[in-house]
Amino acid sequence: MTMFKGAGRLSRRGFLGAGAGAAALAAGLRPAHAAGLTVGFIYVGPKDDFGYNQAHAEGAAAVKAMAGVTVIEEENVAETVDVQKSMESMIQFDGASLLFPTSFGYFDPHILALAPKHPDVRFQHAGGLWSAEKHPANVGSYFGYIGMGQYLNGVVAGHMSKTKKLGFVAAKPIPQVLMNINSFLLGARSVDPSITCQVIFTGEWSLAVKEAEATNALIDQGADVITAHVDGPKVTMETAAGRGAWVCGYHADQTALAPEKYLTGAEWNWPVVYTRMAQTMLDGGTIDNFVRGGLADDFIKMSPLGPAVTDAARAQFEATKAEIMKGGFAAIKGPLMSNTGAVVAAAGEAFEETDVRLESMDYLVEGVIGATS
Amino acid sequence: MSETDLGLWGVPLAMLAGAIRVSTPFLFVSLGECLTERSGRINLGLEGTLVFGAMAGYAIAYETGSPWLGVLAAAVCGAGFGLAHGAMCSLARVNDIAIGIALMLLGMGLAFFFGKPYVQPVAPDLPSIPFGFWSDIPQLRAALDVNALFLVGVALALAMAWMFRATRIGLVIRATGDGAEAARALGVDPVRVRTLATAAGGALAGVGGAYLSLYYPGSWNEGISSGQGLMAVALVIFARWKPVNCLWAALLFGGAGALGPALQSVGVTGGYYLFYAAPYVLTLGLLIAASSPSRALAGAPAALGFNR
Amino acid sequence: MTDAAASRALAAPSAEGALAALARRAEAVAIPLGALLAGVAAFSLFLALLGHSPAEFFALVWRGGFGTAFSWENTLSRAAPLLLAALCVALPARLGLVVIGGEGAIVLGGLAAGATAMVVGWAPGALGLPLMALAAMAVGGAWIGAVGWLRHHRGVNETIASLLMAYIAIALLNHLVEGPLRDPASLNKPSTPPLPDWLRIGEIPGVGVHWGLAFGALACVLAWVLIERTRWGFAARIAGGNVRAAQLQGLPVGALILGFTALAGAMAGLVGFFEVAAVHGAANGSLISGYGYAGILIAFLARHNPLAIIPVAVLVGGLEASGGLVQRRMDLPDATVLVLEGMVFVAILLGETLYGRFRMFRPELWGRA
């Protein structure tokens, strides 16, 4: 449980934030909702995209079901001054005291610009690297070790692939994406070290036709298991399954899109995480500023294994999952080279899932066909 | 599934496959715009029609279970937008380009408004025809899985070319495009011809949208079109208002769009943003090469005012 | 036309002359306002048919866009980039050119500002900021100026060329921000290096909106003066009406087209500059935010009159500002605002057909049977 240890002491002002609703009611500033906790969620795209935004919206739905909590949501909010004003509008008009602006691009400069103006409001951001020296105390960043999920995807993919070639449709070569590509391949290589993974970057988080073209190009080059890291993997899943390839999901459960071809998927478990955070606020506590968690902490989860998954794949999947649940698992461990020949990890060196250095990953490991720039 | 290793041959194959897969919306929209412009009007709003057609097609296909009913609905909605555009432009001093931009905005707004409940559901796809059955190479088989709408589009391009060349309707449209007087000389009402041509053009654009949502990529969301409708209007100028040229232009644009992913898949990994911009650079380059300030733009209907 | 007649009437000393002038001027205000109301009415009907309350909707628009001090701050923040973006459409429109690719000049202007800051980071704000702004204007001006040049010298359609070039500009921005110009420390959001504090633009005191708003309004006023009160503006209007006639009169049509498109691009470049220096603090993919396309809407609604751009941008800014509140309170999709904008846009364009049809606005017909 990473959430309740660490930097909590730093956020004394955040503690005041929990009582903000009551304080504001006394001052006569806040309407209706002030008695309980009002939580605002902001999404960069549609909240039913079978992907990034849907995963967060499922978390919001769980928070909505809590007693004493009001949830307000906004979709399709751009990473411009728009999001600053959306956040402020939620604070001003709805008395929100806990905000989840969920897109990565909201953090710097938007959340960082607004947070100091509203010290009694808590801003929770997915994926950012909060640091006590640089960032306001009423801002927190949280994220999950989703790379472990992609590693497990890779384990199943490694068993199912006949061509020994996997395909990855990726948006942009940023650390969070590179981590997933590397983990997917390393998971597969734990089954068969001869497997390779081809990556195609579409350059955009959401671009349906290009994602479909990338999927087709990967399959044309022989890839027979496909996964993706774009905002909404729906198009990739449907296109790949339509071509007869296996698919591994990402962000949310995409079983319904390809029931026969879906192997498993790396999913966020935001309902657990968000209800936990909202409960902390309701109880008058303080959410830690820097929170990370993995499978064991219920930050991520795996989609149910699909009907086609073989017994051997299932067995290794379960065994690896149990290993990860114990904690201290390292997908990146030496000796390991990058695909440009640089040493990623020397023999005996291991980067455990919690290693913060992984969050600035700038390489693709040996066996990945693709480039970081 | 047994795949064959194609190596670098994957690139031309991907471009061929991409040309067939990606070109259809461009083809339908540009044929629609070609028809409209030949009558002397410009409808810049086909992007909005395309997006609305994509939504309507998907929604109806999902509700009825029939993708072809979806295509029909998209065509009807597209005709509605075209008719509205045509009727509004019939009023004195109402500018067709401006109305086009306004209807583009309205079409997208309405599509997103009514399309919200259909982002999540999965609608049935249009079927494809396996023309590659004779081949042992799975990639080639996949490339030659051709959607019926593409074939309809090809037939339509040829039919439209024939119509302009050899039929009375074609003559009337061309005459109207040359000017209102020419139309009246033939005994037809130019406003009526233009309105009908715009409606028919809108219907085609709607079908182009249905192809996006019901076949490739076969999904409805607000980002389903990345400007296909706008680009198709550009392709008409580039195609010199000739339907068969619209077909080549659409194929070229689709094939160029497949270049980026295909190159990455064979290991050409740098500068992919620039490869992705290839269709736009190519179109601009050809447009510049084909234009000339001194002589009239060959093929341009006089009433469009391109040769002002 | 109307203006020339109006100024003649103004010169007449009689009270009747003043009334006549007022009537002529009133038409240019009354028809767009009437069209606006018609668009709003159509939208209200649309909402009512779908079972939503138009009254609630507009009450929320008022509250979210104009009802409180924060609402005004919200509205003006959104209007700020739209002022300059609309000028990128309105200026070429005087020459009869429809430029829809301002988005390209915006993103490249922002990129130029961010890249310049990498070089002039040592300079104090009083030197560095103007240099960044100049770079943004130069790049934006060159980008749209090229569209004008292609139009005049190669006969390339400006609407299509500007659109194609916008796609190319976005590709260039992405390529450079994620490649050669990327700050290695910008991990998950590839950007140019963050601007030092002294190269950032703050807010107008007491308004809560960055200085881009004031510059945008000033630019609109200056553009109005240019078009209405200088011989270049006059020449541009003649050329916009009829190129051949303008050439016969010896007007430098090529220079006018190049000048106006370059100026338009410079305005769009400034949008990018303010986004980088006042909002994002670096150039990155967030610059691709659609302000260029929103500018088309504003310019057409303002009938390409730079002064009218100011109230129209505020109106659209207010609509956008209230969109979130509408989403949260009425459970309507975010596209609702887009539908309203589209309907008002169509209504205002249809209003064009009404000019000259009302007797009350045509003093020359007064008193006649």
Task: Name the residue with higher pLDDT: C226 or C157.
Answer: C226
Whether B261 and A216 lie within 8 Å, measured CB to CB: yes
Residue of A nearest to B271 (CA): A373
- Whether C328 sits inside 8 A of A175 (CB atoms) is no
Name the residue among B282, A356, A338, B308 with its Cα closest to residue C171.
B282
Cis check: omega of the bond before A109, within 30 degrees of 0: yes
CA-CA distance, A324 to A304, in Å (whole number)?
Answer: 17
Q: pLDDT-derived band of residue C51, with 50, 70 and 90 as boundaries? A: very high
The ipTM (two decimal places) reads 0.91
Nearest Cα of chain C lies from the Cα of B162 at a distance, in angstroms, of 27
Q: Which CATH number is A51's domain given?
A: 3.40.50.2300
Which residue type sits at C4? A
Same domain, A195 and A89: no
User: Do both A118 and A181 map to the same domain?
Assistant: no
Largest CA distance in chain A: 67
The answer to whether residues A210 and A119 belong to one domain is: no
Length of chain B: 308
Distance CA C105, CA C262 (A): 10
Residue B262 binned pLDDT confidence (cut-offs 50, 70, 90): confident
Distance (Å, whole) CA C297 – CA C307: 15
Q: pLDDT tens digits, residue range A147-182?
A: 999 999 999 999 999 999 999 999 999 999 999 999
Beta-carbon separation of C327 and A75 below 8 A: yes
**β-strand partners of B146:** B129
> What are the angstrom distances between the C-alpha of A106 and each of A87, A109, C41, C187, C280?
10, 7, 36, 14, 10
Taking the C-alpha atoms of residue A128 and residue A114, their distance in angstroms, rounded to an integer, is 16
- Give C208: exposed, middle or buried? Use CB within 10 Å, 0-12, 13-18, 19+: middle
- CA dist B216 and B175 (Å) reads 37
pLDDT (0 to 100) of residue C355: 86
The closest CB to that of C189, out of A105, A203, A373, belongs to A105
Pair A233, B221: CB distance under 8 Å = no
Of A208, A243, A369, the CB nearest to B223: A208
In this structure, are strands A368-369 and A37-42 parallel, antiparallel, or unpaired? unpaired
Tell me if A84 sits within 8 A of A286, measured CB to CB.
no
Query: Which residues 103-162 of chain B have a CB within 8 Å of chain C?
Result: 103, 105-113, 116
DSSP-assigned letters across all residues of A281-306:
HHTT----SEEEE-TTTTSEEEPPPP
Indicate whether A93 and A176 sit together in one domain.
no
Place of tokens 């033939």: B186
pLDDT digit string, tens, across residues B16-36: 888 888 999 999 999 999 999
Q: What is the pLDDT of residue C361?
A: 82
Q: Which tokens in the block code for residue A343?
A: 């040493």
Interchain pair A369, B267: CB under 8 A: yes
Those residues whose C-beta lies under 8 Å from the C-beta of residue C292, and which sit 6 or more positions away, are C85, C88, C101, C102, C103, C104, C105, C106, C166, C268, C271
Does the pLDDT of residue C4 top 80, yes or no?
A: no
Q: Are residues A100 and A171 in the same domain?
A: no
User: Which burial class, exposed, middle or buried, applies to C367 when counting CB atoms under 10 A from its CB (0-12, 13-18, 19+)?
Assistant: exposed
Taking the C-alpha atoms of residue B56 and residue B62, their distance in angstroms, rounded to an integer, is 10
Helices C336-351 & C306-330 angle (0-180, nearest 10): 150
Cβ contact A105–C286 (<8 Å):
yes
Q: Name C102's Cβ contacts closer than 8 Å, sequence gap at least 6.
A: C85, C88, C89, C144, C162, C166, C264, C265, C268, C291, C292, C293, C295, C296
Domain limits, chain B? 23-131+147-236+293-304
Please report which residue ranges of C94-230 form alpha helices under DSSP H.
102-119, 125-149, 158-178, 212-229
Distance in angstroms (rounded) separating the CA atoms of residues B232 and C163: 12
Contact A268, A57 (CB under 8 A): no
Choosing among 1.10.150, 1.10.3470, 1.10.10, 1.20.120, the CATH entry for C53-331 is 1.10.3470
Interface probe for C, chosen from A42, A48, A70, A82 (most Cβ of C below 10 Å), is A82
Mean pLDDT of A61-80: 95
Q: Using CB atoms and an 8 Å cut-off, which of residues 203-232 of chain A contact chain B?
A: 203, 206-214, 216-222, 224, 232
Category of A3 on φ-ψ map: left (φ > 0), alpha (ψ -120 to 50) or beta:
alpha
| β pairing state of A246-251 and A262-268 | parallel
Residue-level pLDDT at B71: 97
- pLDDT band, very low/low/confident/very high, at A128 (cuts 50, 70, 90): confident
A-interface mutation test, from B122, B264, B268, B276, most A Cβ less than 10 A away:
B264
C93 closest CA partner among B284, B46, B98, B302: B98
| Residue C238 amino acid letter | I
| Interatomic CA distance for residues C193 and C330, integer angstroms | 41
Among A194-203, B117-126, B289-298, C356-365, the range scoring the smallest mean pLDDT is: B289-298
- Cβ neighbours of residue C149 under 8 Å, at least 6 residues apart? C257, C258, C261
What is the residue type of A22? A
Burial of C261 (0-12, 13-18, 19+ CB in 10 A): buried
pLDDT in tens, C195-214: 999 999 999 998 889 999 99
The string of pLDDT tens digits covering residues A295-326 is 999 999 999 999 999 999 999 999 999 999 99
From B101's Cα to the closest Cα of chain C, the distance in A is 8
**How many residues comprise chain A?**
373
Closest CA relative to residue A210, chosen from C132, B212, C46: B212
Asked if residue A171 lies in contact with residue A204, where contact means CB atoms within 8 angstroms, the answer is yes
How far is A152 from A261, CA to CA, in rounded Å? 17
pLDDT band at B12 (very low <50, low <70, confident <90, very high): confident
Residue A241 belongs to what H/E stretch? Answer: helix A234-242
Phi and psi angles of residue C332, each rounded to the nearest 5 degrees, phi first: -95, 150
The band of C369, judged by pLDDT with boundaries at 50, 70 and 90, is: low
Q: Which of residues 15-44 of C touch B (CB under 8 A)?
A: none
Cβ atoms of A141 and A127 within 8 Å: the answer is yes
Confidence of residue B295 (pLDDT cuts 50, 70, 90): low
Interface residue of B62, B137, B219 to substitute, partner A, most A CBs within 10 Å: B219
Residues A78 and A110 in one domain: yes
Evaluate if residue A242 carries a pLDDT over 80.
Answer: yes
- If you average pLDDT over residues A115-144, what whole number do you get? 94
Instruction: Using pLDDT thresholds of 50, 70 and 90, give the confidence band for residue A18.
Output: very low
Picking from C78, C187, C327, the nearest residue to A81 by CB comes out as: C78
* Nearest-by-CA chain B residue for A205: B223
| CA-CA-CA-CA torsion sign (A179, A184, A187, A193) | negative
Q: At what angle do helices B228-238 and B278-290 cross, to 10 degrees?
A: 30
Beta carbons of A85 and C281 less than 8 Å apart:
no
Q: Which of B90, B105, B118, B292 to mutate to test the interface with C (most CBs of C within 10 A)?
A: B105
- Least reliable range by pLDDT among A48-52, A309-313, B107-111: A48-52
- How far apart, in whole angstroms, are the C-alpha atoms of residue A180 and residue B4? 27
CA of C323, closest CA in chain B: separation in Å? Answer: 13
Omega prior to C363 cis, within 30 of 0 = no
Taking an 8 Å cut-off on Cβ atoms, the answer to whether A213 and B258 are in contact is: yes
Sequence ranges of the domains in chain C: 1-52+355-369, 53-331
Bigger pLDDT: A87 or B302?
A: A87
d(CA A140, CA B196): 59
Task: Give the least confident one: A359-363, C106-110, C355-359.
Answer: C355-359
pLDDT of the residue at A182: 97
Dihedral of CA atoms C292, C295, C296, C297 in degrees, nearest 10, equals: 130
User: pLDDT tens across C77-123, in order?
Assistant: 999 999 999 999 999 999 999 999 999 999 999 999 999 999 998 99
Q: Which range, of A27-31, A99-103, B135-139, C89-93, averages the lowest pLDDT?
A: A27-31
**How far is C-alpha B266 from the chain's CA centre?**
30
Count of beta carbons in the 10 Å neighbourhood of residue C22: 14
Residue in A163, A213, A243 nearest the CB of B261: A213
Q: Hey, what are B273's tokens? A: 């943003």
Residue of chain A nearest B7, judged by CA positions: A221
Angle, helices B168-178 vs B190-214, to 10°: value is 110
In a domain, A300, yes or no: no
Question: What b/e sequence results for C72-99 when a residue is b if at least 16 CB atoms lie within 10 Å of its CB, and e otherwise?
Answer: bbbbbbbbbbbbbbbbbbbbbbbbbbbb
Closest CA to A222 of A162, A153, A150: A162
Would you place residue B299 in the very low, low, confident or very high pLDDT band (cuts 50, 70, 90)?
A: confident
- Chain B residues touching residue C167 (CB < 8 angstroms): 227, 277, 280
Task: Give pLDDT, residue B294.
Answer: 63
What per-residue confidence (pLDDT) applies to A10? 29
CA dihedral A23, A26, A32, A36 (to 10 degrees): 40
pLDDT in tens, B175-220: 999 888 889 999 999 999 999 999 999 999 999 999 999 998 999 9
The first and second tokens of residue A285, run together, are 């506590």
Q: Do residues A100 and A185 share a domain?
A: no
Locate the chain A residue with the closest alpha carbon to B226. A207
Q: Which residues pair with C284 in a beta bridge?
A: C191
SS (H, E, C) C60-121: HHHHHHHHCHHHHHHHHHHHHHHHHHHHHHHHHHCCCCCCCCHHHHHHHHHHHHHHHHHHCC
State the residue range of the domain holding A54.
2-144+269-293
Distance CA A163, CA A128 (A): 37
